[in-house]
Amino acid sequence: MNLAHLLHRSARWLPEAPALALGEGATAGYGELSRRVASLAGGLRGRLGLEPGDRVALAMKNCPEYWEVLFACWHAGLAAVPMNAKLHPREFEYILGNCGAKACFATPDLAGEIAGVETIATGSAEYRRLEAVAIPVAETAPGDLAWLFYTSGTTGVPKGAMLTQRNLLFAVQAYFADIDKLGPQDAILHAAPLSHGSGLYGLPHFAAGAVNVIPESGGFDAGEMFRLLERWPGASFFAAPTMVVRMLASPAARAPRHLKTITYGGAAMYVADALRAIDLFGGERLYQLFGQGESPMTITGLPQSCHVRREKLESCGLARTGVEVRVVDGEDCDLPPGETGEILTRSDCVMAGYWENPGATGQALRGGWLHTGDLGSLDAAGFLTLRDRSKDMIISGGSNIYPREIEEVLLRHPAVAECAVVGRAHPEWGEEVVAFVVRRQAAVGAGELDALCLENIARFKRPREYRFVESLPKNNYGKVLKTELRKLL
């Protein structure tokens, strides 16, 4: 079992079919991409001297080379560590050190932000010199590490979810079982980061011989998306709900001629927005998912048929094929339909654990079930509705933001006595970050705190507003009552 075979199988029977495209033009056929991947894999093992199981990081914005590097890692028996291109250099440094990466590939704009590990910029002479004699696909076991996905916990310390060859292959098969049947006539548009859900959903498209399209902007632009949906037949894409809302509001909004499927998730979609999306795109083209990095993109799903009938839109659907879902109380006992508790899941998609963090692994996987930390309820038919998050995670623009991480940075300032970070509803991004700050010295202002955040964390995580208060509301045990802070907003 090796995920590289998803690409090479398609290359054998569709060597001339387009595998990659940048904007409206194809850049590589399946046969050509397969040969480049095998050659780059030879360079990773030979010229860089990497051994099976070594970790290779990717600090790359969306680009065609992303897929070359990712498949070359698997072809060579290495574990890929895709990193969010929007992270701060110090966050890159932490991940690289924690996973013990032996090398890092970066797009030219990010190569200068990587330190402490050999870094190869895509498109450089060094990148081209890595091409070597092609090597056979490495033999890998189902439990071998394939993708180390870094997510944060309530402590704000990033944890590496170990996703195995089995985990990712299961996710691919679940896509075919639940979301869509694909073929060489189809395409996927990668407007969301390849380091996250969009990258995962590229895999079934490679397996089916479809074309993976990178927007020329390298990211999400509503007008560009509508243009690409006119160019590429059978086009699908993964989107955070905020991306769908921005497409609905775009002056370019129109019913796309070639749209096949929009899979949306990563945060809740308001029913009113879902209805607007159904009106524009058609319910038969919409699929909602619920998942998390520890069970990538694969816990529950609301199928196209429910969107067509406009029913159960407040839920996030049924357990995916081959997936078990429970809602339990504090003792991990099942709750009856309609009662709210923690959501647990079990399947071959659930991670093997957290990288070199047995304590967090034992807590998350106790009893053989992944404890998601999300609260929800199941109805009698098995539809899951998210109620709240037991963690204080903020979801803004489809990205997870953990308040503790921001609070730790703010508390480094000598003038800050206390602080608490919460999310506030935002019509476009879903939520935005607000920091409540108790000052030791009145002289410190929002600008100074903003600069401190920009020095230490990614720009998208910084607070959009600082509220200076005399004290924070607390319970009898001294715990800050974030529910009270949210009421103030």
Q: What is the CATH number of the domain that holds 453?
A: 3.30.300.30
Same domain, 420 and 341: no
12 in a domain, yes or no? Answer: yes
Same domain, 356 and 443: no
pLDDT at 153: 44
> Taking the model in full, what pTM does it have?
0.84
- As given in the structure block, the two tokens for residue 100 are 């013990």
Same domain, 337 and 409: no
pLDDT (tens digit per residue) in 110-167: 999 998 899 999 999 999 999 888 999 999 999 999 999 998 544 457 899 999 999 9
pLDDT at 116: 87
The stretches of 271-372 forming alpha helices (DSSP H) are: 271-281, 304-309, 358-364
Same domain, 321 and 356: yes
pLDDT at 327: 96
Q: For the chain, how many structural domains are there in total?
A: 2
pLDDT at 390: 59
386 in a domain, yes or no? Answer: no
Task: Report CA dihedral (253, 254, 256, 259) to the nearest 10 degrees.
Answer: 50
pLDDT at 340: 85
The pLDDT mean for the chain works out to 92
pLDDT (tens digit per residue) in 42-71: 999 999 999 999 999 999 999 999 999 999
Cα–Cα distance list, 282 to 95, 161, 260, 279 (Å): 41, 35, 10, 6
pLDDT band at 408 (very low <50, low <70, confident <90, very high): confident
61 in a domain, yes or no? Answer: yes
Same domain, 231 and 257: yes
Last residue of some domain: 378, 409, 439? 378
Same domain, 67 and 178: yes
**Where are the extended beta strands (E) located within 185-328?**
187-189, 211-214, 235-239, 259-264, 286-292, 295-302, 318-319, 324-328
pLDDT (tens digit per residue) in 361-389: 999 999 999 999 888 899 999 999 887 56
Does residue 312 come out as left (phi exceeding 0), alpha (psi in the -120 to 50 range) or beta?
Answer: left
- Sign of torsion over alpha carbons 83, 88, 91, 95: positive
384 in a domain, yes or no? Answer: no
Q: 112 in helix, strand or coil?
A: coil
Distance CA 448, CA 265 (A): 35
Phi, psi angles (nearest 5°) of residue 305: -60, -35
Cα–Cα distance list, 375 to 265, 278, 340, 380, 415 (Å): 16, 27, 6, 17, 36
DSSP string, 55-93: EEEEE--S-HHHHHHHHHHHHTTPEEEE--TTS-HHHHH
Same domain, 333 and 220: yes
Q: What percent of the chain has pLDDT over 70?
A: 97
Last residue of some domain: 344, 378, 412? 378
Same domain, 119 and 229: yes
- The residue among 441 and 324 whose pLDDT is bigger is 324
pLDDT (tens digit per residue) in 329-360: 989 999 999 998 899 999 999 999 999 999 99
pLDDT at 242: 79
Does residue 7 come out as left (phi exceeding 0), alpha (psi in the -120 to 50 range) or beta?
Answer: alpha
pLDDT band at 207 (very low <50, low <70, confident <90, very high): very high
Q: What is the CATH number of the domain that holds 312?
A: 3.40.50.12780
Cα–Cα distance list, 212 to 30, 291, 316, 365, 489 (Å): 11, 22, 27, 34, 42
Last residue of some domain: 378, 405, 439? 378
pLDDT (tens digit per residue) in 227-269: 999 999 999 999 988 789 889 989 999 999 889 999 998 766 7
383 in a domain, yes or no? Answer: no
pLDDT at 376: 87
The kind and range of the H/E element at 111 are helix 108-111
Evaluate if residue 486 carries a pLDDT over 50.
Answer: yes
358 in a domain, yes or no? Answer: yes
- Name residue 434's beta-bridge partners: 422, 465
Domain that holds residue 67: 4-378
- As given in the structure block, the two tokens for residue 476 are 């009898």
Same domain, 474 and 339: no
Q: What share of the chain is helix, strand, coil (3-state, %, to 5)?
A: 35, 30, 40
Same domain, 400 and 373: no
Same domain, 307 and 352: yes
pLDDT at 154: 41
242 in a domain, yes or no? Answer: yes
pLDDT at 477: 45
Distance CA 318, CA 301 (A): 5
Strand 55-59 relative to strand 79-82, pairing: parallel
pLDDT at 412: 85
388 in a domain, yes or no? Answer: no
| Least confident stretch, 203-212, 311-320, 401-410 | 401-410
Same domain, 433 and 319: no
pLDDT (tens digit per residue) in 451-470: 999 999 999 999 999 999 99
